[in-house]
A and B are shown apart, each in its own frame.
Chain A
Amino acid sequence: MSARQVEIGTFTVLLGAMLLLGFLAARWRRPPSLHSLEEWGVGGRAFGNWVTWFLLGGSMYTAYTYIAVPALVYGVGAAGFFAVPFAIISAPLAYVISTRTWSVSHAHGFVTSAEFTRARFGSRGLAALVAVTGIVATMPYIAVQLVALRAMFATLGVTGEWPLAAAVLVASVCTFRSGLRAPALLSIAKDILLLWLVLAVILLVAMSGGWVAAFRSAGERFTADASPASGLLLPEGGWSGYLTLVIGSALAIFAYPHALTGILAARDRATVQRNAAALPVYCLALGLLAMLGFFAIGQGVRPVGGDLNTVVPQLFHEVFPAWCAGIGYAAIGVAALIPAAVMSIAAANLFTRSVYREYLRPGATPAEEARVSRWVSLLAKFGALLAILLLDQEFSIELQLIGGVIVLQTVPAVVLGLWTGWFHRYALAAGLLTGLGTGLLAMYHIPQRAADGRVLKAHFGGSNLPLAQLGLDTRATVYTGLLALAVNLLVVVAGTLLLRGLRVPAGLDATRPSDYYADARDAAPRHSDALIDGPTPSRSRSPAHAR
């Protein structure tokens, strides 16, 4: 048997076993019925410390991260490392932010942040706007997971699109059947493979000259290519771009729907807090894999067909024994399918709770909600698959970049709203739209340049805007998302002052200050619509099975 066949064999067997596990996940801690969003969409809010930790790691540290970050470091060096500090600061931020989100969602039975917006600012229009923004930002994020998976298949030398389609099909069936339990169980299995991979990488680096050699050859290559953007350290004027990208990405995590889904599945406040303490462990794995980009330079790895995303799989192929490379491929393959599943669940929940139930079928029963979410999650995954197969995959990557900028515009409503209900609903909507406009306009004017300064692509070439374009005499750049968020906030504050001055009625705040500290042992969830519309017994959930 050739090395390739061993690699493909190991990969297929492990991936198959994983998906079987996901299929059986519906039976794991089986509730009396999976037919409600409480069960299907947030796992009955019953996950303990460990499961929550694995699930959060599985949904936030995606295959795209493990492939694109080392690829970026391979390409530009230091500037690609921003993912590490961004991941690190998001953990202590989660201790403060996510705990509040968990409590208010528990108290009101929210499964998405758009529902929170509706209750806090009393506007279903704003909630729908937040939901649609979230869905639009999440779709290309699902697509880039599949791009990562496709890069893996390309390195394995498997031709045709059917393996990708088959993997998506099986993963979709798992999610359809088991809901959030499938990615949760898969995350545990994936991390075992990932741990193996990390240990193998450490051994490998130690046995082949260590980091000294890797950084020496990387330094030589960056000196040789003479590009102003790449190097072992940040380029001149690169500090502001790096800093704003770190802060912007960290805030965006709290606006992305899929990151919230894992948090809401936690059992109580303490679980969320303990997880915030334990999450940086994943940053260590991320930091190690990011530096693998330098190691790949040292090993003389060349990307397959010029696609930088194949650097990591290609490195595994060249330096690992075949069976070990197969394990690495399987780890990254599952790491692509888990977030794709969580993201499609999150997007589906947004649609069901803030569009379907609000506008299409106000009287939807929990069973109907679960059914709609199941089908929408299926649609989301196949939509992403079709987008990659039919459109240029560069387009998905571009959209994902834009997705980060646009999801950031929901921060005032979704994150700041946790502390203040002062903002006026119309001002929030106006701010969101202005932020979206500003972000898109700025990104439209960012060209992508080759190492020699040639313009490769005139528009949407990156997410960092050179401040020189605003007429400032500097080489510094700033992350578009954060810039747009600043404009957004300005509009929100000015608009709120204006609307309050004109006495335009603000929405009714259905949350109470104590809701933000509610814990699992407190009263069973109340639904905000029950507060507004009067109690609807059919929609109250039975908390008996939750523990």
Chain B
Amino acid sequence: MAEHGARPARRGWQWLLLIPILAPLPVGLYDRLEPRLWGIPFFYWYQVGCAFLATAVTVLVYQLSRRGRR
């Protein structure tokens, strides 16, 4: 058992979170109509798609940071 508030060992993985944080920020790159998905312009489906990316990366970071701690 960790002592009070021991600094978690594997915190470096947290930097991976920069990927989903930065993904919706380059507005100029995704402010376009094509390619469309089910008739939805790229602008919209790309941003909604970032939600999947955010969940995937966060789950990965969570698992990687936990590994080997217990």
Contact = CB atoms under 8 A, between A and B. Distances in A.
Interface string A266-288: 00001001101110110110011
Contact of A212 (B4, B6, B39): B39
B48 A96 contact: no
A239 B28 CA distance: 7
A89 B51 contact: no
* Most chain A CB neighbours (cut-off 10 Å) among B40, B55, B59: B55
Contact of B54 (A280, A521, A522, A523): A280
Q: Which of A246, A277, A283, A518 has the most CB of B within 10 A?
A: A277
Given A232-B43, A517-B6, A522-B4, 20 more contacts: A78-B43, A81-B44, A84-B47, A84-B48, A88-B20, A88-B51, A89-B21, A89-B25, A91-B20, A91-B55, A92-B20, A92-B54, A215-B41, A246-B24, A270-B66, A274-B62, A284-B48, A288-B48, A291-B44, A519-B5
Contacts of B7: 513-514, 517
Interface residues of A, number: 51
A85 interface: yes
Given A212-B39, A280-B54, A287-B44, A107 B5 contact: yes
B24 A85 contact: yes
Closest 6 A-B residue pairs measured CB to CB?
A212-B39, A514-B5, A85-B24, A277-B58, A287-B48, A211-B39
Interface centre among A280, A283, A291, A516 (most CB of B within 10 A): A280
A211 B28 CA distance: 23
Contacts of A215: 39-41
A91 B1 contact: no
A518 B43 contact: no
Nearest to B45: A287
Interface string A446-458: 0000000000000
Interface of A: 78, 81, 84-85, 88-89, 91-93, 95-96, 103, 107, 210-215, 232-234, 239, 242-243, 246-247, 270, 273-274, 276-278, 280-281, 283-284, 287-288, 291, 512-519, 521-523
A233 B32 contact: yes
Contact of B51 (A81, A211, A243, A287): A287
A242 B2 CA distance: 44
A517 B5 CA distance: 5
A288 B62 CA distance: 27
Contact of B43 (A88, A233, A246, A280): A233
Contact of A88 (B5, B8, B54, B61): B54
Contact of B31 (A88, A213, A233): A233
Contacts of A515: 5
A405 B4 CA distance: 38
Contacts of B6: 514, 517
A91 B4 contact: no
Contacts of B50: 85, 88
A87 to B, nearest CB: 8
Contacts of A516: 5
B20 to A, nearest CB: 5
Contact of B14 (A95, A234, A284, A519): A95
Contacts of A91: 20, 54-55, 58
Contacts of B44: 81, 287, 291
B5 A81 contact: no
A467 B8 CA distance: 44
Interface in B13-34: 14, 17, 20-21, 24-25, 27-28, 31-33
A519 B2 CA distance: 10
Contacts of A81: 43-44, 47
A523 B45 CA distance: 46
B54 A234 contact: no
A521 B1 contact: yes
A284 B51 contact: yes
Nearest to A274: B62
A233 B38 CA distance: 17
Contacts of B41: 215, 232-233
B55 A280 contact: yes
Contacts of B61: 95
A26 B43 CA distance: 45
Most A CB within 10 A of own CB, among B14, B50, B54? B54
A86 B25 CA distance: 10
Nearest to A234: B31
A518 B38 contact: no
A521 B69 CA distance: 15
Given A96-B14, A276-B58, A210 B39 contact: yes
Contacts of B66: 270
Contacts of B31: 78, 233-234, 239
A280 B56 CA distance: 10
A281 B54 CA distance: 10
A533 to B, nearest CB: 22
A95 B61 CA distance: 10
Contacts of A521: 1
Contacts of A278: 55
Nearest to A247: B25
Nearest to A514: B5
